[in-house]
Structure formats: C-alpha cells, structure tokens
Structure 1
Amino acid sequence: MHDPVARARSRGNKRRGHSSAGREPDVVGFAENTELALMCIDAAGVITYVNAASERMFGHERAEMLGHTLDLIIPPRLRGAHHAGVARVGEGAPSKLAGRSIEVMALRADGTEFPIEVSLSAWKGNTGTMMGAVVRDISERRQRDSRLHRLAHHDPLTGLPNRFQFNLRLEEILSAGEQAAVLLIDLDGFKKVNDSLGHATGDTLLQALAVRLPAALEADAMFARFGGDEFAVLMPGIGDPLKASAAARTVLGAFGPAFSIGDHLLKLGASIGVAIGPMHGDDPEELVASADLALYQAKHGGNSFRLFEASMRSAVAARHAIRDELLRAVSDGELVLHYQPQVNMESGSILGAEALLRWNHPTRGLLLPGKFLEALESHSLALQVGCWIIDEACKQASAWRALGLPALRMSVNLFAAQVNAGNLAEVVEETLKRYSLPPEALELEVTETVMLHNDDHVLRPFERLRERRVRIAFDDFGTGHASLSMLKRFPLTTIKIDRGFVRDLLADRYDAAIVQALLGLARAMGLDAVAEGVETKEQEAVLLALGCKIGQGYLYARALPAEEFTRLFGRLRTEETAAVSDVKAKLSETPSQKSRR
C-alpha cells in the first residue's frame, strides 16, 4: 500500500473513537476534515500527499495531484521562482520561509488564478528532504478587506508593503531607540524589459522579484516596493556596517540566476544604497534620504552597492544648488555656445565645428561643462536645453553661410533626455527647415550611454535621420563598455577618437596601436574619423602618418565664441586664398620672370 493517506485511514479504522493516553491521535481524521489544504512534496517538487480540502480548493482529484509536480497549481509565469526555491531547499539549504506566512497566486484546474496564504515547513524524511504546506484560500478575505486600507499599506501589484507601511515600521523601530539598516534597491535593465517585451511582462517580473528576494533575506526583514522598479528592505537590529553590507551582497547575489518569465529568460542587475539608523538618520525621512544618496552613487557603477557617507550629503546639496541656479540661467539666457573647429590636418582648412555648451555665470565667470553638466543631465531642463542647443547651433551655421563663408558641418552633442523623448527626428528636421540648412550640415554626437540602449525605439529616429542624410557621430569611442557589434547596428557616419588616446600617442605604444586599430576600423566601415585633443605638431604628424585626416584640439583653437570663430574662419580662409593665388601666380610665370626671381 503506497498511498500514505490510505495507510493512515486503515490505521484509523482500527482505532475508532477518541484517543486516550498512550494511543495515537486520529491525525487522518483531522487532516481530512480541516478546511485548510495540506500538501507534501519531495525534494524534486513532486506531490506526495494532499488532503480533501486540497481537492476542493484546486479542483483536481487526489489521483491527479499525487505524483505530479507543483506546476499543476502554480501559474506558468511564477513557476521559475518556485522551482528555484524548491531546488535550493531540496539540496539541503535551510528554508528562510519556514514558519512564515506568504501570499502568492495559485492556479485552479479550470485555469483561473486565486490568492492563497501559505505556511511552509521542511524536514528530513525516510527518503530525504520533504516539504509541507498549509494553504488557505484568501479570496474572500481579500475581498472582505477594505480596499482603501489595502491601497494605503500594500503595493497592489506585488502584495508587498508599500512606502507608507515601510515608514510606519521604521518609525516604530527608531522611536524605540533600536538600530535598523535600510537598503534601497533600483533595478538595472528593467526599463529595457518594459520597452522591448511590454509592461505585462515587466509586471510579472516584478511579481517574481517579490517571491525571490524575500526568500534571500532574514525572517524579520521587511521587503517593500516603493513604486516603479524601486524596492526597499528594512532590517531591524542591524547597526553594524559590515552586516548591512553583507545583506546588500546577498540581495545582489539573488539577481544572479535569470528570471524565467513565460518563454523569456531575463537577466537583471541592481544598484543598492545602504544606510544605518540612527547613525545615518534618526527619523524615517532622514534615514531613507541617506540610503537614497548612497543609491545615487551606486548607480554610477551598476550592479553594486554603496554605504552612505556624510560627504554624499554635501555633494548633493551642491548639486541641488547648481540645479536651482540652472533654472535662473536658462530663463536669463546665461547659457551660450562656443565653437571648436574641426580641421583638415593636411590642408589646414576648417571642415566643421563642434558646438560646446558654456555657462556665463554672473559671479563665477565662464563655467565649462565639467562644473554643471552632470546636474543638468539629471534635471528636467535637459530636454529644453538640448533642443535650444540644436536650434542655436543651426542658426549660427546658417548665419556663417549668409556671410559667404564656406559650408561647415555643425556637430551637436545630444542629451539622453532628447533621445528618450521620442521626437528627436521631428525636432531636427523642423530646425533644419527653419534655417534652410541641408541635412548633411548637421552632425549629431551620441555617447556610449545612448549606444548601450540601442533597442528599436532608440535606433528608429537615428535611422530616419540618417536616411535623410543627417550625420551621426559616436563620441569618445573606445573609452567605455560599448561593443564593436553596436557599430554595425547603429547608423553612424563618424567615429571620434578620444583625447585620452591622442594625448600619449607618442609615448605609449598601446595608445598608438589603439588609434591605428580605430582608424583601420573606420576605413573598413566607410566612416570618417576625427581625432580629439590634438595639441602638438608631433601628434598631428603621427595621426597623418596613421591615415587620420581630421583633427580637433588646442593646436588649432580652443572653443571660441561665435564672433571669434567667425574672425578665425575668415582669416584662415583669406590665408588659404592667398596661398592658392601665390601658387597660381608662380605657375603662370614666364621663364624670364622666374630667372629674375
């Protein structure tokens, strides 16, 4: 007799009536008559026992369930997370969910989903690790609960505590004079999942996270969703930075295995900011703000964590001050463009200009981008300023043409906000039309940040502009994480070789080799190459010998205001015209004139 229920029932038939001292209680009677569903599985996740309530709850006959895996009652989108948990416990790892009640979604035989509350346990049986669950259908309870209370305390998508509930618990801990660690988690790559696979897949991924991550934490840790792809962990009693850092590493480790969402295997990373109370804040608002400052720093590295430091607060205060000043700067017209020439190194003629942003600060003087660009890029003004730069640069290019100067190509750097806005192609086309410029007069410079997000919605406007002959350059190529395969997919016309490689071109053979390789790559792909940071004639000579024709740097000119650039352009043009005239005059001399000369 292999059915444990049948064996237990047989024993029960021999012992009718109430149990007494020394007699085994009627466990089967309890199991078969309770309204709670009772289930057992082995280390492989195969169901070995169910009671009558399980049949009623899930709509399957007992014979259908026994010998089948848990997939029978788990929605397909959540099976990956459950498989991982069962496998971990089956291999002997302790279950961090033991003794805790969790709420998850289950699947009935008719295909409908419903919420259940599950209490888990694990033990060593005769055949190895066994796991058991007490399951309660909480459909009615959820319907009975006040919706307003639910919305006030829990995230409706994942069922996790929300920010309000998180702060209430944190307030209780800090008010009692106890220590606590706060971890703020921001997902790396979640936006790409939403954009490429749709929000339904993104929502399911968040639900899978709500199952996986709490299982990696200690039993008393509170895992909450603050909104979007931001989560938080509250760990009571943690005041040691080393323990808080270890918890952050554990959370990062939970992102190692891919998430199985339907037919997709999705890899995500995370950035984590860590703060400890009351060391880094003695009230919820200050402590969470400290963790947020640490999170901001962690995002620069990606898939990493940072512990709060006091210096972060002063740095953010300075950044906020700059952002406030930028609002005034934009309204008062303090932002200006300077133009640095791009030169044909063989002839010395100017081929183009790069429009570079400057800030005429009323008290600090002319500020270079290093003093304010980071604050501007994260400001809501970035889109407005980016569109202004395109307009101002095109207006200046049109003005130079109206003066009769040779046609230049104008290079403009893009902000990520302009790319993400979705209307870049329309803005560029309307601006070119407004100033009667041909498309090839404008070159848009993109950075690695844009290249790394080269999915369809990012590529589409660039492909449209390239079809209309607008030029597209990759700035600072070779300095970061962008792969060579991106060059094949992105519709480029130009590679800009970073000044870091040019600076040590004569002294470092590796830099020379990199420049040579980049130039060879550009030639093979039919792309122009511009060397940035050319400062000496020796660098220019080596670049020319390697086959680079276009240079940009202090050897030719710093970035100049429009008026100075116009004078430089006119002077170089006059000198070039004079040199050509001199050559023509010499070629037309008679023999007698040459002999007198």
Structure 2
Amino acid sequence: MLRGITVVDGSVLCGLLAESADDIILKLDERGFISYASPAIDQLGLRLSELLVPPHLSDLALQSHGDALRTYFGDALAGMAPRDRIEFPAIGSERSGMADRWYSLSLRAAPEENGDRGGALGVMRSIGAGAGIERDMRAVSTIDPLTGLSNRSAFVAMLSRALAFGESGSVVVFSIDRFRAVKMRYGQARADEVLWAFAQFLRSMLGEMPSLTRLEGERFAAILPGAEPPSAMAAAQETVRTFAELSTGRGRDDLALSASAGIAAMTEEVDSVLSRAELALKVASSAGGRRVELADKLPSCLRYRRSA
C-alpha cells in the first residue's frame, strides 16, 4: 500500500476509478471466470447482472484470440507471464458498432489472505480507438490512400501478432496479371482505377476483413484465420476465376484482366511466410497467370528460395 493510504482508502479509490474511468476493471476467480467488472464493461455490450452464468475472460475476445487469453491468464496466475500485458480485439465491441476494437489487458495474481491460490485482478484499456488528430494520424499511417485498404506496415503488424499468438491459417497474396503492360498502355490514371476496382472486388469476395491489404503496386494480401492451405486454395481459386469472368471484355476499350495468387501456411516468422506466399505468386504469374499456387507444393528447387 502507498505511504499514507490505508487499505480502506485503497478500496474507496478503487471504487471511484471503477465508476469514472473508461478502463474496465476485472476480478477473476481461479478458473478465469469474471466475478466482478466495473461499469465500463457496458461499452462492450455486456451486462453481467443479466447473465445467468458469468462469462470467462476468453469470452471477451474474438474466437481467434480466446486461447491466447486463456494462456495469458494461466501464466499470470502462476506468476510466469512472459509479458506484462496482452492485446486482443474484443468480441463485445461488435455489438456496440466498433468491430475489432482492440484492448490491452494487464493481469496480476490475487492470492487469498491465507495464502491459498486465488484469482486475478486486471485492467482492460481500449487501444483501438483514439480521438481527433491523433486518431486520424494513426489511421493515415496504416491505410493505403488509393484503395482504403490496410497498408504493408499494418499487414506485417497483424501477421506478426497472429503468429505471436500461435494462430493457424494461411496468407494469400494476389496480383493483377501483366499489370505493367496495362499501365504503359492506358496510363497511370487508368491503372489507379483498375487497382481501386480490384480492391473493391476483393472486399466483395473475401469480406470486410481488417487484414485485407494492398502490399504495394498491384500486389494485395489477406490473412485467412483458421484456413488450412487447401481451404485457402479453394477460396483463392474462386476469387481468381470470378475476377477473370467479370472483367474479360466488359470494360471500356475491351480491357481484359486476370489475376493470380500465391498461398503460404502461417508458420515460422513474418518474413518467411510472406516470402513463401510471394514466391508462389511469382510462379503462378510466370506460368501464364490466372492461376493459384501453394508454396508447399512448389518444386523443392524453388520452395526455399527467398522472394526478391
């Protein structure tokens, strides 16, 4: 306890903070179920008083991050957490119109007075929404201005976070076939129109996912959580096929477009995953385009080469 502050004073101060702050104060039992939450949890659309069974800590995160939260809780309870906080997107934010709003959670073990193992106390702080100029500047630094998708820096951060949490899935990288020829023939303005249209097409095929990214030039990427390479292959093939069918001979000047894709499983490090996916993309494009290649299915002489 701080000098001059009694236990009773500390309890009063904790109550005042819980009632006035946007931070969410949590008390968890030894199994990780929420026994108390400050009123700020209402911003997630959760009203504990209306629930018959208290939610588990992992219920506060999107499904893809539930296991990471459970692991962090167990480590914090044992005093062995490798980091002092964990970041995750809160599932409750979807109900309040703020999908994929990220929170930072810090937990500390709270043993019983007799020394027996107890639960934990924690503080959740929103880190996914800012205000005013600061928020706008953060958005500019992570968004591609032409397409409105995430940029490469944001994608690398999302992939790094997913790999750090041990998430499974695949990374797919798309490109527009022979895009340089399109740019040389029709000019930069028309090329930009094509890039913007392709970005909107990917949105319609893959959905509004935060990881949908314009890496650079005509290359786009997305993280498909939980999708093993065969499933990602099917989704990418449908996307490539549909794009060719929609664009062939239907644009002005009879501009016929097609796309290719490369896929890599989410293993190892960020650079390795991206390099393997981009190498698979190069093979698909070099084979005539309108193709999808799996990094793990490439010939062994190519599989371990780094993409330039």
| TM-score normalised by L of structure 2 | 0.51
Aligned residues between the structures: 181
Residue 305, structure 1, aligned to residue 286, structure 2: no
1:253 to 235, 241, 252: 241
Name structure 2 gaps, 5 residues minimum: 1-96, 100-129
CA distance in 1, matches of 2:140, 2:300: 33
Corresponding letter in the other structure for 1:309: D
Change (3 A) 1:189 1:293: closer
CA distance in 2, matches of 1:263, 1:295: 28
Corresponding letter in the other structure for 1:223: L
Corresponding letter in the other structure for 1:258: S
Corresponding letter in the other structure for 1:290: R
Q: Please name the residue that 2:274 is paired with.
A: 288
Change (3 A) 1:174 1:317: closer
Task: Summarize deviations over 1:199-256 as a string: whole Å, max 9, x none.
Answer: 01111111111211111114547311011111112111112x2201111112202312
Task: Summarize deviations over 1:75-119 as a string: whole Å, max 9, x none.
Answer: xxxxxxxxxxxxxxxxxxxxxxxxx999xxxxxxxxxxxxxxxxx
Q: Please name the residue that 1:244 is paired with.
A: 232
CA distance in 2, matches of 1:145, 1:233: 27
1:184 to 156, 173, 194: 173
Higher relative contact order (CA 8 A, sep 6+): 2
Q: Please name the residue that 1:161 is paired with.
A: 150
Corresponding letter in the other structure for 1:160: L
CA distance in 1, matches of 2:251, 2:305: 46
Residue 211, structure 1, aligned to residue 197, structure 2: no
CA distance in 2, matches of 1:176, 1:187: 32
What SS does the aligned partner of 1:195 have? Answer: helix
Change (3 A) 1:210 1:260: farther
Q: Is the 8 A contact 2:147 2:196 kept in 1?
A: yes
Q: Please name the residue that 1:315 is paired with.
A: 302
CA distance in 1, matches of 2:251, 2:239: 23
Question: Per-residue deviation at 1:146?
Answer: 5.8
1:222 to 211, 215, 224: 211
Question: Per-residue deviation at 1:147?
Answer: 6.2
Q: CA RMSD in A?
A: 3.5
What SS does the aligned partner of 1:298 have? Answer: helix
Q: Is the 8 A contact 1:173 1:180 kept in 2?
A: no
Q: Please name the residue that 1:489 is paired with.
A: none
What SS does the aligned partner of 2:212 have? Answer: strand
Question: Per-residue deviation at 1:300?
Answer: 2.1
Correspondence list, 1:408-419, <5 A: none
Question: Per-residue deviation at 1:275?
Answer: 0.5
Corresponding letter in the other structure for 2:277: A
Task: Summarize deviations over 1:490-546 as a string: whole Å, max 9, x none.
Answer: xxxxxxxxxxxxxxxxxxxxxxxxxxxxxxxxxxxxxxxxxxxxxxxxxxxxxxxxx
CA distance in 2, matches of 1:254, 1:142: 40
Q: Is the 8 A contact 1:226 1:232 kept in 2?
A: yes
Residue 172, structure 1, aligned to residue 161, structure 2: yes
Corresponding letter in the other structure for 2:241: G
Corresponding letter in the other structure for 1:248: A
CA distance in 2, matches of 1:319, 1:308: 11
Change (3 A) 1:299 1:262: closer
What SS does the aligned partner of 2:290 have? Answer: coil
What SS does the aligned partner of 2:173 have? Answer: strand
Q: Is the 8 A contact 1:174 1:180 kept in 2?
A: no
What SS does the aligned partner of 2:146 have? Answer: coil
Q: Is the 8 A contact 1:204 1:261 kept in 2?
A: no
Question: Per-residue deviation at 1:149?
Answer: 2.7
What SS does the aligned partner of 2:246 have? Answer: coil
Task: Summarize deviations over 1:163-194 as a string: whole Å, max 9, x none.
Answer: 11111111222211111211111211322221
Question: Per-residue deviation at 1:259?
Answer: 7.8
Question: Per-residue deviation at 1:266?
Answer: 2.7
1:276 to 265, 279, 300: 265
CA distance in 1, matches of 2:251, 2:306: 43
Change (3 A) 1:264 1:149: farther
Q: Is the 8 A contact 1:294 1:312 kept in 2?
A: no
| TM-score normalised by L of structure 1 | 0.27
Corresponding letter in the other structure for 1:303: R
What SS does the aligned partner of 1:153 have? Answer: coil
CA distance in 2, matches of 1:204, 1:160: 15
Stretches of 4+ aligned residues off by more than 4 angstroms: 141-148, 218-221, 259-265, 310-314, 316-320
Change (3 A) 1:172 1:260: farther
Q: Which has the larger radius of gyration?
A: 1
Percent of aligned pairs sharing the same letter: 29
Corresponding letter in the other structure for 1:212: F
Q: Is the 8 A contact 2:275 2:306 kept in 1?
A: no
Q: Is the 8 A contact 2:276 2:306 kept in 1?
A: no
Change (3 A) 1:158 1:101: farther
CA distance in 2, matches of 1:292, 1:319: 9
